[in-house]
Amino acid sequence: MAFDMGATILSLQGVNKSFGPIDVLHDINLEIRAGEVLCLLGDNGAGKSTVIRLLSGVHKPSSGTITMDGKPLNFASPREAADHGIATVHQFGGTFPLMSIGRSFFVGREPVRWVGPFKVYDRKTANDIAVKAVQNFGITRIEDGDRLVGGLSGGERQALAIARAVHFGARVLILDEPTAALGVKQATHVLRIVNEAKRRGLAVIFITHQVMHAMAVGDHFAVLIRGAIASDFKKGEKTREEITDLMAGGASMATLEAEIESNMAGHDA
């Protein structure tokens, strides 16, 4: 696959989203480029997941435009977004814990072969392709495509889900808190896979609450505060402390700590 590195794939212009009377997003402008990791940061409830739901076809914007390759985008369903190469990987990666690696990798796109007059699910091909795809992302521990997805570690499941998206031609990879439930080592694995996806020219949207994880892979950062983009900057333009403060909703960490301390003192009394 040939990707035009740096070309804008998705672009949001003046996007607003409200659910009935609740305004969730205000005037969002964002560019998502091939071969780049965009980190979407912000406090709980800031609207990060809502942004990606707009991009993945779950919701439609109340106003404003979203374009893909310059053309206005109007997905009726997540499936349609996936068909256009926008793949969303949810927190726990594989959602079919009781299915084998091969079977879950190919859900909805099962390879078949002819046995006499019958079309039969091609288990061997499915397993081989799935295992190879995960191993290409550096998870060499997975060798048996018959293993159940639920028996994999959280990081391995993320790897499987990302490998699946890439295998089926995703151009945009959306990862909503992929490292949230993972230990240090597993998280590192996932970050490495994010870098690998980026190296292959995918555009990655990466949501996290951990500054370290964001700084490890991000090329471009957007911080949401109460539904608006409070800051939009490139790698190296802000320090870790500045990013942390922004993520906490604008209040400086020092102020926050002082607040906690006075609260604690109040409880002790």
Partner 1 sequence: MSTSSSLSFGSLMRRPETGSFLGLAAVFLFFTAFGGTNFASPTGAASWLNVAAQLGIVAIPIGLLMIAGELDISIGSIIPAGSMTCAIISGHFGLPIIVGVGAALALGAFIGLINGLLVIRTAVPSFIVTLGTLFAVAGMTLGFSVLVTGTTSVAIKVPEAKWLLGDFIGGIYQVTIFWWIAAVIFWTFFLHASRFGNWIFAMGGDKVSARNAGIPTDRVTIMLFVCSGMSAAFVGLSQAILYNSAQVSAGQSYIFNSIISVVVGGVLLTGGYGSVFGIVLGTLTFAVVSQGIYFTGFDANWASLIIGVLLLGAVLMNNTFRKMALSYAPKKAGK
Ligand X SMILES: Nc1ncnc2c1ncn2[C@@H]1O[C@H](COP(=O)(O)OP(=O)(O)OP(=O)(O)O)[C@@H](O)[C@H]1O
Q: Which residues bind ligand X (CB under 6 A)?
A: 19, 22, 24, 42, 44-50
Q: Is 13 in the site for Mg ion (CB under 5 A)?
A: no
- Output 44 or 262, the one with its CB closest to Mg ion: 44
The CA–CA distances, whole Å, from 155 to 56, 95, 103, 138, 177 equal: 23, 14, 19, 12, 12
The CA-CA-CA angle for residues 41, 191, 9, to 5°, reads 60
Q: Interacting stretch for partner 1, rule CB under 8 A, among 16-24, 109-117, 175-183, 240-248? A: 109-117
The CB-nearest residue to Mg ion is 49
- We find the least distance from the C-beta atom of residue 172 to ligand X, in angstroms, to be 18
Chosen residue from 19, 45, 98, 255 binding partner 1 by CB under 8 A: 98
Across the strands, what pairs with 42? 224
Contacts of 142 (CB under 8 A, 6+ apart): 101, 131, 134, 135, 152, 156, 160
Q: Are 32 and 205 in contact (CB under 8 A)?
A: yes
Chosen residue from 79, 199, 234, 240 binding partner 1 by CB under 8 A: 79
What part of residues 148-167 is at the interface with partner 1 (CB under 8 A)?
Answer: 148, 150-151
Collapsing DSSP states into helix, strand and coil, what is residue 68? strand
Q: Which two tokens stand for residue 212?
A: 């370290």
Q: Which two tokens stand for residue 62?
A: 């109340």
- Output 162 or 229, the one with its CB closest to partner 1: 162
- We find the least distance from the C-beta atom of residue 211 to ligand X, in angstroms, to be 14
Q: Which residues bind Mg ion (CB under 5 A)?
A: 49
Q: Which residues bind partner 1 (CB under 8 A)?
A: 77-79, 82, 95-99, 103-104, 106-110, 112, 118-121, 127, 131, 143-148, 150-151
